[in-house]
């Protein structure tokens, strides 16, 4: 009887060894050949933002501060300077966002840093944020952007005058197109800029301001569309090929 137990024990041990060997625990497989190394998967990382300029990172950081779409900040820069960080206007506005030197100095920026792209963009963004707060009574955010853009170009005071004139003459002071923009034009005429409602006098730069608002809006739509088309393209690519990772 004892021999039978010994044979049974040996049979159990032999079975366990065969099972372990066939499972690859000893570096082999059922056919007796060594296991092949699992190939390492190589991933390709794709940026999630379309490339518009060398300053895109600064635009995105600035947009996070003011709560705007980053392509809007890029559209302002493109309209102002064509992404030229060395640009200087006849009026003295400088840098990629065409900020006036007095504005930069008001933010404590030394003259040596006025043309620095990151600094120029951040100061411009602070100005945009200030204007956005001043126009918070324009409830529609998309409409408010028109007023912010107009003020960025012409100055807050002239736009405020135009809003007051629009209300006086029965127009909607919270709508830019065909309402407030018309009275910005009228501020070049004595019968309007001498009105006691106008506290900032005559304004003759209305052509540039109206053009600026239109151009920024047009460029913003173009950049936004480029971003959307790019996002759709890389999403489709990542969905069909798991080695592509959006980052």
Q: Can you say how many angstroms the Cα of residue 143 is from the centroid of all Cα atoms in its chain? A: 19
Q: Which residues contact 212 (CB under 8 A, 6 or more apart)?
A: 79, 149, 150, 152, 153
C-alpha angle 200/201/202, rounded to 5°?
130
| Catalytic residue flag (residue 80) | yes
**Left, alpha or beta for 29 (phi > 0: left; psi -120 to 50: alpha)?**
beta
Q: Give the CA radius of gyration of the chain.
A: 33
Give the residue from 33, 28, 5 showing the smallest Cα distance to 13.
Answer: 5
Contact 94, 87 (CB under 8 A): yes
Return contacts of 26-34, CB within 8 angstroms, 24+ apart. Answer: none
> φ, ψ for residue 99 (rounded to 5)?
-90, 140
User: Do 246 and 238 form a contact (C-beta atoms < 8 A)?
Assistant: yes
Task: Report the SS3 class of residue 228.
Answer: helix
Please check whether residue 187 is in contact with residue 206, taking contact to mean a CB–CB distance below 8 angstroms.
yes
Which of the following is catalytic: 80, 126, 191, 229? 80
Active site members:
80
């Amino acid at each position: 009887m004892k021999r039978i137990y010994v044979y049974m024990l040996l049979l159990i041990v032999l079975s366990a060894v065969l099972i372990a060997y066939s499972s690859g625990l000893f570096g082999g497989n059922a056919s007796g050949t060594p296991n092949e190394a699992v190939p390492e998967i190589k991933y390709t990382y794709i940026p999630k933002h379309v490339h518009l300029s060398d300053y895109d990172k600064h635009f995105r950081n600035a947009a996070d501060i003011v709560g705007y779409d980053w392509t809007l900040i890029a559209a302002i820069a493109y309209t102002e300077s064509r992404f030229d960080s060395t640009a200087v206007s006849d009026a003295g506005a400088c840098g990629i966002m065409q900020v006036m030197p007095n504005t930069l100095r008001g933010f404590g920026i030394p003259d040596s840093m006025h043309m620095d792209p990151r600094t120029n963009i951040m100061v411009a963004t602070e100005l945009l944020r200030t204007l956005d707060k001043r126009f918070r009574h324009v409830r529609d955010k998309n409409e408010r952007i028109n007023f912010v853009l107009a003020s960025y170009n012409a100055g807050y005071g002239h736009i405020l005058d135009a809003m007051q004139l629009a209300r006086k003459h029965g127009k909607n002071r919270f709508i830019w197109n065909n309402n407030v923009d018309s009275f910005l034009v009228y501020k070049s005429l004595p019968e309007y800029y001498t009105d006691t409602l106008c506290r900032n006098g005559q304004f003759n730069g209305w052509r540039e301001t109206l053009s600026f608002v239109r151009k920024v809006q047009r460029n913003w739509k173009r950049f936004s569309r480029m971003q959307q088309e790019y996002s759709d393209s890389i999403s489709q690519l990542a969905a069909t090929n798991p080695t592509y990772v959006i980052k």
